[in-house]
Amino acid sequence: MNARERLIVGLDVPTLGEAEKIVSTLGDDILFYKIGYQLVFAGGLEFACDLAQDGKKIFLDMKLLDIDNTVASGVENIVKMGMSMLTLHAYPKAMKAAVEAANGSDLCLLGVTVLTSMDEQDLIAAGYEYDPHTLVLRRAEQALLAGMGGVVCSAEESAAVRKIVGPDMAIVTPGIRPAGSEKGDQKRVMTPADALKAGSSHLVVARPIVKAPDPKEAARGILAEMETAL
């Protein structure tokens, strides 16, 4: 895969109008987009289907978690939408149900390990007994055993996760910040080049592109940096 197939631009904006403007501005430079809660609840699901029909790849970031039957039913309908990637929390039963529901399709299921906005104190407050690194590796192994297409983790854990999941599974990393960018609410971040070198297969970048004065220039700069690392 080249950089264009690996860069996922997060459409983390509040309205369809803003999302449409970003996609129009970026044009053919960007192939892959992430659509999450913010845009989904503003009509983003139909927009996601439209983009997929136009030849774009869509990473639907829903972080599903529910009883097995509900997860499976949701995945079955998402397969019909033509999405390329879908996230669910990396709980073994949920992952198993999702894998069975997506069997035979091209949908890449991603297990979310530990959110990149969380550090050890956040996990302790949430009642977990593991530090972020340990929990990420545990969930990566469970995702592999469940037959998932990949995992979502911080680029800081990419190298260790790659050793567990092998060369074929996707490792999708948010919290990507070009040198000099603000971290925002992310706590475990890395530059695009360093993330790829560490073992990430796909990079999710939102604010450094969508909030840039010139999103197209920002996207091209990140793609160029990624190419140097490939």
Known catalytic residues are 61, 63, 66
b or e along 20-57 (b: 16 or more beta carbons within 10 Å of the residue's beta carbon)? eebbeebeeebbbbbbbebbbebebbebbeebbeeeeb
Residue 69 is assigned to a ligand binding site: yes
Residue 131 is assigned to a ligand binding site: no
Residue 88 is assigned to a ligand binding site: no
φ, ψ of residue 114 in degrees (nearest 5): -135, 130
Residues 78, 63: Cα–Cα separation, whole Å: 13
Strand partners, 32: 8, 57
Residue 34 is assigned to a ligand binding site: yes
Residue 191 is assigned to a ligand binding site: no
- In this structure, are residues 164 and 137 in contact, taking their beta carbons and an 8 Å threshold? yes
Residue 194 is assigned to a ligand binding site: no
DSSP class per residue in 142-163: HHHHHT-SEEE--GGGHHHHHH
φ, ψ of residue 63 in degrees (nearest 5): 50, 55
Structure tokens at 64: 């599903």
Residue 186 is assigned to a ligand binding site: yes
Residue 119 is assigned to a ligand binding site: no
Residue 63 is assigned to a ligand binding site: yes
Q: What is the DSSP letter of 129?
A: S
Residue 70 is assigned to a ligand binding site: yes
Residue 226 is assigned to a ligand binding site: no
Residue 68 is assigned to a ligand binding site: yes
Q: For 21-28, which contacts have Cβ atoms below 8 Å and span 24 or more sequence positions?
A: 22/209, 22/210, 22/215, 23/51, 23/56, 25/215, 25/216, 26/209, 26/215, 26/216, 26/219, 27/216
CB atoms within 10 A of CB 5: 12
Residue 135 is assigned to a ligand binding site: no
Q: Which residues are annotated as a binding site for substrate?
A: 12, 34, 61-70, 116, 177, 186, 206-207
Q: Which residues are annotated as a binding site?
A: 12, 34, 61-70, 116, 177, 186, 206-207
